[in-house]
């Protein structure tokens, strides 16, 4: 795989990473080259260190609150530990690639739902198919918006009840 071009403009940004549109060249099994438009999801610098610092602060506060007898039942140290483990898994973009593969499998009988195809991942970089879309605000207050809401609810319920696997990226699109 060769990266031919990376758009310097950020296509989207979330808590953990930002996305850039790019062009890559890949060689297929029959030895022919193909150029693809992809999304490069790049983890923000210092995210592991920032999360480690935040979790340390939360751990210390939880420990202090746990010393107050009336709050001991909350078991805040265990809650912070569980939250910390979850955050650690989310900052490794290989986890996101595996989740995308699972979503693609879970929704393969539902062609109206699309998930990016992961091509390659490391802990700080995920290369996935570029999926063109519109901002949801375009559909607010329209009949199409109502239909999209119903589709979103259907997808959420499938994830939560049938698949027991939920993931969402809250993205600020420019």
- Does residue 8 belong to any structural domain of this protein? yes
**CATH number of the domain encompassing residue 127:** 3.30.200
Q: So what's the pLDDT on residue 135?
A: 80
CA distances from 141 to 80, 137, 149 (A): 40, 9, 11
B/e letters for 9-46, b = 16+ CB within 10 Å, e = fewer, are eebbeeebbbbbbbebeeeeeeeeeeebebbbbbbeee
Q: Which residue has the higher pLDDT, 88 or 23?
A: 23
The domain of 109 spans 2-46+91-133
The predicted model scores a pTM of 0.80
Q: So what's the pLDDT on residue 168?
A: 62
- Does residue 173 belong to any structural domain of this protein? no
- In the chain, pLDDT over 90 holds for what percent of residues? 60
Instruction: Report how far residue 40's alpha carbon sits from residue 10's, in angstroms, rounded to the nearest whole number.
Output: 10
Strand partners, 128: 39, 118
- Does residue 108 belong to any structural domain of this protein? yes
Instruction: Report how far residue 98's alpha carbon sits from residue 103's, in angstroms, rounded to the nearest whole number.
Output: 9
Tens digits of residue pLDDT in 22-78: 999 988 888 899 999 999 999 998 999 999 999 999 999 999 999 999 999 999 999
Q: How many CA atoms lie within 13 A of 112 on its CB side?
A: 7
Instruction: Report how far residue 152's alpha carbon sits from residue 87's, in angstroms, rounded to the nearest whole number.
Output: 25
Closest by CA position to 165, among listed 157, 122, 7: 157
- Does residue 78 belong to any structural domain of this protein? no
- Does residue 114 belong to any structural domain of this protein? yes
For the cut 60, the answer to whether the pLDDT of residue 171 exceeds it is no
Q: So what's the pLDDT on residue 132?
A: 85
CA distances from 54 to 43, 45, 133 (A): 17, 15, 34
- Does residue 98 belong to any structural domain of this protein? yes
**For the chain, what is the domain count?**
1
Instruction: Report how far residue 60's alpha carbon sits from residue 55's, in angstroms, rounded to the nearest whole number.
Output: 9
- Does residue 96 belong to any structural domain of this protein? yes
| Phi, psi at 21, each rounded to 5° | -80, 140
């Amino acid at each position: 795989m060769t990266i031919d071009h990376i758009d310097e403009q950020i296509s989207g940004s979330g808590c953990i990473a930002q996305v850039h549109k790019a062009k890559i060249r890949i060689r297929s099994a029959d030895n022919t080259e193909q150029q693809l438009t992809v999304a490069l999801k790049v983890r923000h610098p210092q995210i592991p260190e920032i999360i480690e610092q935040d979790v340390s602060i939360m751990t210390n506060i939880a420990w202090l609150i746990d010393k107050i007898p009336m709050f001991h039942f909350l078991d805040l140290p265990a809650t912070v530990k569980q939250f910390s483990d979850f955050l650690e898994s989310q900052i490794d973009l290989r986890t996101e690639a595996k989740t995308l593969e699972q979503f693609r499998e879970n929704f393969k009988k539902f062609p109206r739902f699309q998930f990016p195809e992961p091509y390659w991942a490391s802990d700080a970089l995920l290369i996935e198919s570029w999926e063109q879309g519109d901002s949801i605000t375009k559909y607010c207050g329209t009949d199409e918006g109502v239909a999209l809401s119903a589709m979103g609810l259907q997808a959420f319920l499938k994830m939560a009840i049938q698949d027991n696997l939920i993931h969402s990226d809250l993205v600020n699109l420019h």
